[in-house]
Structure 1
Amino acid sequence: MKKTLRYNYRLNPTPEQEVKLIEFGATARGIWNLLLSETMRRYDYDKTFFFYKDMASLLKKLKSFEEFAWIKTFDSAAAQQVARDLEAALKNAFSKGRLQRFPKHKISYKRKKLHNDSFRAVNNSNCIRIENRTISIPKVGKVPIVLHRNLVSKIKTVTIQYRHGRWECSITQEVECKTAKNRLTSITGFDINSKQTVVGSNGFVSDNPKFLRQSKEKLTHLQRQLSRRKKGSNRWQKTKQRINKLHGKISRQRLNFAHQVSRQITNETGILVFEDLNVKAMQQFNGSMVADNVMGLITQLAKYKADLEGKLYHEIGRFEKSTGICSECGQRHVLSLSERYFTCTACATYQSRDLSAAKSIAKTGELDLIAAEIVARVIPTSQHKSAIKMKVFEVSKLVEGSEKKEAA
């Protein structure tokens, strides 16, 4: 089984290459707006939409006109990729399973004052390759790249973008996943909260580093400085870039922290059970706290890392109660956000609300997986009983008409 993953690298283009990359990003934006306008015009005319075949045919015809010579200077495969992206956005806007809006025109550089357009090049006939610490991009040339890790397979696509004052490329590659393990020796539930980022039922605790709060003083100073500048002046632009770079640093710190935590919890357990968090609704309640806690990012990274290692990732229902449930007797309690510890009214056990929630998530996930016949508990014989009581599972994935595997 193969999985497509992205690997991000930093670019150090020359001034001539940088001008070309900015031009290609603007061209990709122009093609998007052109095709979207034509799609909307056709819908007003006969209530039909432009899709990829019509878009590709239109781009081919427009190249012969002098007014559209800027399309001809652009990589043809990258232009076709813009058409594919627009087609996917149109279909997602009318899909019942996707909550996406109708695609909009992209804002021009004159309004945003930032060169943050992007374009995606496709590796046709090995036109994109890495040689001597450079990456060859069609119609741009060999751009120096900071190769902090080796490639794992052949390059599929490369997305070029200018973010937070730096040029970056995102390379997609196909990675071979490990064979799913037949026996998994542990199941762990993980509770994500505002105080500690992740609390595991096995005792794992990861405190929230709160990178935004660490840089809050410097960020406040720059924002006050920006308010005193004349909007649009050179000094205003310089201060704006400093704020943008500081936000980029905070973003990279959060991503690095999320990768480290998700890798550690994936290595320590066989079955990972999380809550299905409604991150969008939580952001409306306290957006900066949720963003600084990387709640949704950790679950996303843990999911794909579990797939790569041949382990299981499971999410319990969004409305399953986990907070305030006693880990010893199962008694339910109503707790406020300020109550981090509580005493059970039934068994008088004093416990942490986060640890008891993680244990409750693990139990609920275990029952869900057994009920869905995804895993089956293996009961050891008396001769093989160990001193340590450990839950052992066996992946069954039953087919209709087949018999359950007997515990060995």
Structure 2
Amino acid sequence: MKISQYYKFRLLPNQEQEILLNQAIGSARFVWNQILAKSFEMFSKDEYIRYETLEKNLVPLKKIPDCSFLGKTYSACLQQKIKDLAKAWLKFYNSKEHARLKENKRKPKKPKFFKLADGAEIQLRPLMPRFKKKSDGEQSFRLPFADCKVLGDRLSLPKKTGWIKFKKSQEIKGKITSVTIKKICGFWYVSFCTNREVVEPIHPSKSAIGVDLGVKKLITTSNGQVFDPINSFKTNQIKLSRLQRKQRKKVKFSQNWKKLNFKINKLHHHIANIRHDYLQKITTTLSKNHAMIAVEDLKVANMSKSANGTAENQGKNVKAKSGLNKSILDQGWGMLIGMLEYKQQWRGGLLVKVDPKYTSQTCSECGHVAKENRQTQAKFECVGCGYVANADLNASRNILSAGHAVLSVEGGCGKGRPKKQKASEIREEVA
């Protein structure tokens, strides 16, 4: 079994090294924008865009006198940036990506256009790569590991950059294939991409649980365990709104406006780090203790859609829905399910996604389905058999039952499976 894993650490460059890293980031961004402009011209001529055709534009670009600074940075990071651009165009040409985009029914945005050298314009479509800005919150460049060295808690880059220290919080397992340097809100990070072969793991636990995701209770499991939400955005919302009000009073793009914008981005980065760290801890706890985890296949983008409506059809309960949307996005459900998925795979466990329909309205004892069963947000009382339980606990037990049904031959309500399945004729003959 092959495992690909990223290790991310804080990078601690000195002032001279920071200048070289900033030059590399700026050069990579410049090459992306220049080659992207060339690719738009190719797209207007109905040419298929791939790496081999894009890479031919790099050498002529370096020979331009005004672009002589490209020769002073790492040449490998410029080639890697072109590879990233080619992957972005490959994603645009993929019909499955467009189908997935249509599932998340987002509000249509005002169309944008790119002006070509001959004066013609092309419309920028969804999934098309976009130009990068210096003001973007995250800047990065990537190098193949063949050009780098790692010794303990130090990293060596080409072009006589020297050894750069990083905070090595854990051992790096596997063969390092590439090194990515990132700058986020003034902080430097290094990510090592590794590959390693392991024996097919067998999960030490034999238990199975259903997981119900919520806002007041982040996770409620079918065995009664509850994980409270961290609510990192809600905790810092007052501080964030205060900074945003100050920024509104400043002249846009002035020095004071930029200082406040940096503080706002830094606070958002802090909020995201708190959420990410908390989700890592609770998903590790669940993955270590349970071989099978059943979760709802939630469409978070649809659940957090705005209720504003249109000018003709005004929305209802807009303020309440806006608060609910903030609470949903503050939990990071999509990130949580993604973490569970790869951690279960690494430990030899199983993650089953089930259809979320009627899981909160179904009685886990008798199977009776009725809207009246869910009397309040917290209380569940079956009108059929009189079973009383916590609503989240009842839903998690239904999710576990649906997860077992997905794995069985007779049932199936998971993603990509038919609602009903029958035993095959071969099985009937054998029986």
TM range (shorter): 0.7 to 0.9
**SS of 2:94's equivalent?**
coil
**SS of 1:274's equivalent?**
strand
Pairing 1:55-134 to 2, within 5 Å after superposition = 55-99=54-98, 101-109=126-134, 112=135, 116-124=138-146, 127-134=147-154
**SS of 2:56's equivalent?**
helix
Equivalent residue number for residue 331 of structure 1: 368
**SS of 2:95's equivalent?**
coil
Equivalent residue number for residue 294 of structure 1: 332
**SS of 2:97's equivalent?**
coil
The 2-side partners of 1:312 and 1:85 are apart by 32
CA shift digits 1:222-244 (9 cap, x unpaired): 22333344444444333332222
Is the 8 Å Cα contact of residues 194 and 290 (structure 1) preserved in structure 2? yes
Aligned letter for 2:353?
E
| 2:172 aligned with 1:151 | yes
In the TM superposition, what is the alpha-carbon distance from 1:131 to its structure 2 partner? Answer: 2.0
What 5-or-longer segments of structure 2 have no aligned partner?
Answer: 102-125, 307-323, 413-425
Aligned letter for 1:326?
C
Equivalent residue number for residue 422 of structure 2: none
The 2-side partners of 1:16 and 1:183 are apart by 50
Is the 8 Å Cα contact of residues 38 and 50 (structure 1) preserved in structure 2? no
Aligned sequence identity (%): 25
Is the 8 Å Cα contact of residues 295 and 353 (structure 2) preserved in structure 1? yes
The 1-side partners of 2:252 and 2:218 are apart by 39
The 1-side partners of 2:268 and 2:64 are apart by 43
Q: Which moved more, 1:326-335 or 1:365-374?
A: 365-374
- 1:365–1:171 CA distance, 2 compared to 1 (3 A): same
In the TM superposition, what is the alpha-carbon distance from 1:65 to its structure 2 partner? Answer: 4.1
Aligned letter for 2:95?
K
**SS of 1:371's equivalent?**
coil
In the TM superposition, what is the alpha-carbon distance from 1:177 to its structure 2 partner? Answer: 4.8
Equivalent residue number for residue 28 of structure 1: 28
| 2:345 aligned with 1:304 | no
| 2:193 aligned with 1:172 | yes
| 2:356 aligned with 1:357 | no
TM-score using structure 1 length = 0.83
CA shift digits 1:158-184 (9 cap, x unpaired): 221211331112221124455243896
- 1:233–1:258 CA distance, 2 compared to 1 (3 A): same
The 2-side partners of 1:117 and 1:294 are apart by 23
The 1-side partners of 2:268 and 2:379 are apart by 35
The 1-side partners of 2:276 and 2:78 are apart by 31
CA RMSD of aligned residues (A): 2.6
In the TM superposition, what is the alpha-carbon distance from 1:260 to its structure 2 partner? Answer: 0.7
Equivalent residue number for residue 300 of structure 2: 279
| 2:270 aligned with 1:245 | no
What 5-or-longer segments of structure 1 have no aligned partner?
Answer: 375-401, 404-408
Which of the numbers 183, 196, 205 marks the counterpart of 2:226?
205
Pairing 1:182-201 to 2, within 5 Å after superposition = 185-201=206-222
Equivalent residue number for residue 162 of structure 1: 183
Aligned letter for 2:131?
K
The 2-side partners of 1:8 and 1:82 are apart by 20
Aligned letter for 2:371?
V
The 2-side partners of 1:217 and 1:44 are apart by 47
Equivalent residue number for residue 108 of structure 2: none
The 2-side partners of 1:357 and 1:80 are apart by 50
Is the 8 Å Cα contact of residues 213 and 220 (structure 2) preserved in structure 1? yes
Is the 8 Å Cα contact of residues 294 and 400 (structure 2) preserved in structure 1? yes
The 1-side partners of 2:69 and 2:49 are apart by 22
Q: Which moved more, 1:9-18 or 1:252-261?
A: 9-18
Q: Which moved more, 1:257-266 or 1:13-22?
A: 13-22
CA shift digits 1:55-106 (9 cap, x unpaired): 2233234434434323323323222211221111111112111136343342
Q: Which moved more, 1:346-355 or 1:213-222?
A: 213-222
**SS of 1:136's equivalent?**
strand
- 1:231–1:204 CA distance, 2 compared to 1 (3 A): same
TM-score using structure 2 length = 0.79
Is the 8 Å Cα contact of residues 129 and 155 (structure 1) preserved in structure 2? no
**SS of 1:326's equivalent?**
coil
CA shift digits 1:216-263 (9 cap, x unpaired): 232233223333444444443333322222221111110011001101
Equivalent residue number for residue 158 of structure 2: 138
Is the 8 Å Cα contact of residues 157 and 171 (structure 1) preserved in structure 2? yes
CA shift digits 1:37-69 (9 cap, x unpaired): 112212333x21331112223323443443432
**SS of 2:194's equivalent?**
strand
- 1:156–1:219 CA distance, 2 compared to 1 (3 A): same
Q: Which moved more, 1:169-178 or 1:153-162?
A: 169-178
